Structure 1
């Protein structure tokens, strides 16, 4: 605009505006061309990814799956890589990308992970490609990671900055009961999980998360989570309507 005003001032006052119009239009086109075009992936990245963390047994996956069911097409769950063996009913590429230790280490060496950590002798990681693929699809990326993963993502250059949410158990006693009811924990693994829970809850108490949700009653916790994300949901749903999806 300032260039256009300067252009007007450079001509005699008797010069007719109709004769200047082509020059003014050319200025507008030149200005627009100098601005980088926003790609689909850049537009999608205007919605902040969600980083959900919390001890095993707090119901993180259940809460996320409820979001996916109620708002189909709006959310996508980032699928982590792991070296552990699949549990009964788990599907490769859906629950986790189950890989060998050699394959995992190769991805680490190639800087392919946004974050990665080791727990109970197994390796877990969130690949950068997984997050990029979801962002470029126009969906809100959901990351479910442990405490070390949260710390790594906070130190990363991921943009825009994710929204960090911690899912907290009602008490250590209730969490122990939930883990024991699975029937998959040994006394040793249970102790490790409870120790990790204490560390995670202490970290949450430092204010590291934007939101802390106590999952005592699932429906109440879900409404709390949905309320945090409602503005993003409206934005994504509005974009989908504009595109006729």
Structure 2
């Protein structure tokens, strides 16, 4: 994939006087196995300045996962305290485990004009939009069909039959919330889905409301 043509323009807009903009939160949601993490990772690989939101979780680390890189791993009691005191901008329980987003890094990135991508579920999307209503642009990723989704889950060879059945049941519930999102795509051809996600991100970056210095620039045209 060739480098995105707008990367240089985005970097300059962060530092050029009068053209600074506020960052955007791109939320990508989907049922497990539909491709949200793959799409989010492709965006990060194509655009190194795109900030990753590192979540807090109560589950144990998997082999190869590093604290502060993949997740912040916390005990259930610590997680509950963070949620209670407002340290998490969104959080939810998924398959009996807690997942949430720390507030401070998100607010710092947005204020600095840096964009963030989140691969979270519909509950997290609701909370994040409620917390930062002017900063969230959301994308829901659908599989081509439920049988294809199930085949993808089985192809991972990471879960037993009972876990796959639980994920399929959760997928039906997740999909029922697709209308809550700003954009929706069907991930039938991965490269096309990635391109559509990048188009959503780029459009959000140049939205009029995000261009904090544009009014002053235009006044100077007179």
- Note whether the superposition's TM-score is higher than 0.5: yes
Q: 2:138 aligns with which of 164, 170, 193?
A: 164
Q: 1:118 aligns with which of 73, 93, 100?
A: 93
- The Cα offsets for residues 89-139 of structure 1, whole Å up to 9 and x where unpaired, read as 222211111111121111012111111111111111112113113223431
Q: 1:96 aligns with which of 71, 78, 82?
A: 71
In the alignment, what sits opposite 1:147? 122
In the alignment, what sits opposite 1:194? 168
1:133 is aligned to 2:108: yes
- On the 8 A contact 1:80/1:126 being kept in 2, the answer is yes
In the alignment, what sits opposite 1:225? 197
Q: Any idea what SS the aligned residue of 1:111 has?
A: coil
In the alignment, what sits opposite 2:57? 82
Shift of 1:188: 2.2
- On the 8 A contact 1:79/1:130 being kept in 2, the answer is no
Highest RCO, 1 vs 2 (Cα 8 Å, sep ≥ 6): 2
Distance in 1 (CA, whole Å) between partners of 2:38 and 2:186 is: 14
Aligned-pair Cα RMSD in Å: 2.3
- On the 8 A contact 2:53/2:106 being kept in 1, the answer is yes
In the alignment, what sits opposite 1:53? 29
Q: 1:215 aligns with which of 187, 191, 195?
A: 187
- The Cα offsets for residues 210-239 of structure 1, whole Å up to 9 and x where unpaired, read as 111111111011111112222455799xx9
- The Cα offsets for residues 161-202 of structure 1, whole Å up to 9 and x where unpaired, read as 411110111111111111112222122221221111101111
TM-score (normalised: structure 2): 0.78
Which deviates the most, 214-223 or 46-55?
Answer: 46-55
Q: Any idea what SS the aligned residue of 2:92 has?
A: strand
TM-score (normalised: structure 1): 0.71
Kindly tell me the number of residue pairs found equivalent between the two proteins: 191
